C-alpha cells in the first residue's frame, strides 16, 4: 500500500542581522515546487529568538518561530548574515544537534560560518561568499574551502557562495529531492537560469554583458537545440564565427567553465529530464542527448548522481512507478 505523500520540511534559520535576499530565495523557489498538484516543501523561517529580527539592510522582520522548528525539519538551511564572523551560539548548537540527527544541513552565503563553528565542515569541501573566503579559511583551517565555486555538497552538507548562488543551491536541493525536470520547471516559473553546475566559478571576467547579450549566447542556444549531434569545439567555434582559442576564452569568461564542460553538463541534464518525463529506452535517451550509447549514459550519470539510469528513472519518473520500472530494463 503506497505511503501518503508528505512535503519535505525545511527550516530556514535567520541569524541576526539576516540577509533579506537569502530569506527570499528559499521561499520563492521551494514554494513553487508541486508534486502531483501538492506542495513539495513546507518552509518555516525561524530564529534564535522569535520576534523582531534585524536585517542587514536596516529593517526588521518579525519571525514567529524559534529554533524548535529545526528539530521538526528534514533540511536545515542557514541564511547569511551581515555579521558573519560572530556565529550565534544557539544557532550553532541547534545546527550541530540537527546534524547528529542525520538531517541535511545547508547554508547560503556567510551562513557557512555557523556550520564551520559547529564543526560540521571540518575535513569537508565547502564554500562561502568569495569576499569572506579568506577569513573563513583563517578561522577554520580544517575546512577544505573551495573559494571560487557557486555551491558544493559534501555528504549531507551543502554550502553556497553569495547572492544569486543561493538560487543555484536551492535548485540543486530541489533536483536532488524531486529530479531535474521539477527543478528546471521551478527555474522556468521563477524566471531564473536552469540548474548550473556547482563547480562553475563565482564570478566571470566580463563585468557587464554587451547590450545585445553575451558573445556566446547564440551559440549556446544553438548547441542546446542540437544536443543530439556530436558537437565538437570546432563546430561551436564555427557557429560563433571565431577561432577555437577565442571561443574557449570568451566562453570561460562568460560562464566560468569550458565549452566542453558546459556541453557535457547540458547533455546530462537533458538525459535526466528524458528519464523523468519519457519512457524511451536507454539507448534512445543516450542518442537524444548526444551521449552516444547506453553504456556512456550510464557512466556519466553514475559519476554525476551516483545512480544508474534505471534507478534514477524509478526514483524520479513523473510517469508513475509502474511505467518507469517497465521501461528501464536496459541500464
pLDDT of residue 199: 53
Percent of the chain with pLDDT over 70: 88
How many C-beta atoms lie closer than 10 Å to residue 58's C-beta?
8
- Give me the chain's average pLDDT, please: 87
Q: Are 44 and 73 in contact (CB under 8 A)?
A: yes
Summary count for the chain: helices (H), strands (E): 15, 12
CA-wise closest residue to 256 among 137, 84, 130: 130
3-state helix, strand, coil in the chain (%, to 5): 45, 15, 40
- Please name the residues in contact with 142: beta carbons below 8 A apart, sequence gap of 6 or more: 121, 122, 123
Q: How confident is the model at residue 314 (pLDDT cuts 50, 70, 90)?
A: confident
90-130 pLDDT, tens digit per residue, is 999 999 999 999 999 999 999 999 999 999 999 999 999 98
Over range 134-157, report the average pLDDT.
Answer: 93
pLDDT of residue 326: 41
pLDDT of residue 2: 54
pLDDT of residue 322: 44
pLDDT of residue 324: 42
* More reliable by pLDDT, 329 or 153: 153
5-36 pLDDT, tens digit per residue, is 899 999 999 999 999 999 999 999 999 999 88
Query: Which string of DSSP letters, residue by residue, matches 305-322?
Result: HSS-HHHHHHHH-SS-HH
Q: Which residue has the cell 520500472?
A: 325
The model carries a pTM of 0.74
Over range 237-266, report the average pLDDT.
Answer: 89
pLDDT of residue 319: 72
Q: What is d(CA 115, CA 104) in angstroms, rounded to the nearest whole number? A: 12
pLDDT of residue 320: 57
Q: What is d(CA 104, CA 85) in angstroms, rounded to the nearest whole number? A: 23
Residues paired with residue 271 on neighbouring β-strands, in sequence order: none
Q: How confident is the model at residue 214 (pLDDT cuts 50, 70, 90)?
A: low
Q: Which of 37-41, 157-161, 213-217 has the lowest average pLDDT?
A: 213-217
Q: Are 18 and 53 in contact (CB under 8 A)?
A: yes
pLDDT of residue 5: 80
169-208 pLDDT, tens digit per residue, is 999 999 999 988 899 889 888 877 666 665 555 543 333 3
Amino acid at each position: 500500500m503506497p505511503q501518503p505523500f508528505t512535503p519535505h520540511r525545511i527550516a530556514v534559520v535567520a541569524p541576526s542581522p539576516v540577509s533579506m535576499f537569502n530569506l527570499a530565495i528559499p521561499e520563492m523557489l521551494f514554494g513553487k515546487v508541486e508534486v502531483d498538484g501538492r506542495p513539495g516543501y513546507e518552509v518555516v523561517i525561524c530564529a534564535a529568538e522569535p520576534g523582531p529580527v534585524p536585517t542587514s539592510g536596516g529593517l526588521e522582520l518579525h519571525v514567529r518561530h524559534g529554533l524548535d522548528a529545526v528539530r521538526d525539519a528534514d533540511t536545515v538551511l542557514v541564511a547569511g548574515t551581515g555579521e558573519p564572523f560572530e556565529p550565534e551560539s544557539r544557532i550553532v548548537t541547534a545546527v550541530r544537534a540537527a546534524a547528529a540527527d542525520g538531517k541535511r544541513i545547508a547554508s547560503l552565503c556567510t551562513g557557512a560560518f555557523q556550520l564551520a563553528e559547529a564543526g560540521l565542515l571540518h575535513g569537508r569541501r565547502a564554500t562561502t561568499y568569495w569576499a569572506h573566503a579568506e577569513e573563513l579559511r583563517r578561522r577554520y583551517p580544517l575546512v577544505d574551502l573551495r573559494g571560487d565555486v557557486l555551491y558544493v555538497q559534501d555528504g549531507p552538507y551543502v554550502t553556497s557562495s553569495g547572492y544569486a548562488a543561493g538560487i543555484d543551491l536551492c535548485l540543486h536541493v530541489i533536483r536532488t529531492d524531486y529530479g531535474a525536470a521539477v527543478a528546471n520547471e521551478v527555474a522556468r516559473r521563477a524566471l531564473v537560469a536552469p540548474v548550473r553546475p556547482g563547480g562553475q566559478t563565482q564570478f566571470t571576467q566580463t563585468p557587464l554583458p554587451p547590450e545585445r547579450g553575451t558573445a556566446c549566447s547564440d551559440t549556446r542556444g544553438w548547441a542546446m537545440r542540437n544536443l543530439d549531434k556530436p558537437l565538437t569545439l570546432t563546430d561551436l567555434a564555427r557557429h560563433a564565427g571565431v577561432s577555437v582559442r577565442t571561443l574557449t576564452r570568451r566562453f570561460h569568461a562568460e560562464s566560468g567553465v569550458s565549452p566542453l564542460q558546459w556541453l557535457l553538463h547540458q547533455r546530462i541534464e537533458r538525459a535526466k529530464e528524458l528519464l523523468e518525463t519519457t519512457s524511451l529506452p536507454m539507448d534512445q535517451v543516450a542518442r537524444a542527448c548526444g551521449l552516444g550509447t547506453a553504456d556512456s549514459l550510464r557512466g556519466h550519470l553514475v559519476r554525476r548522481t551516483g545512480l544508474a539510469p534505471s534507478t534514477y528513472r524509478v526514483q524520479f519518473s513523473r510517469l508513475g512507478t509502474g511505467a518507469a520500472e517497465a521501461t528501464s530494463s536496459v541500464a
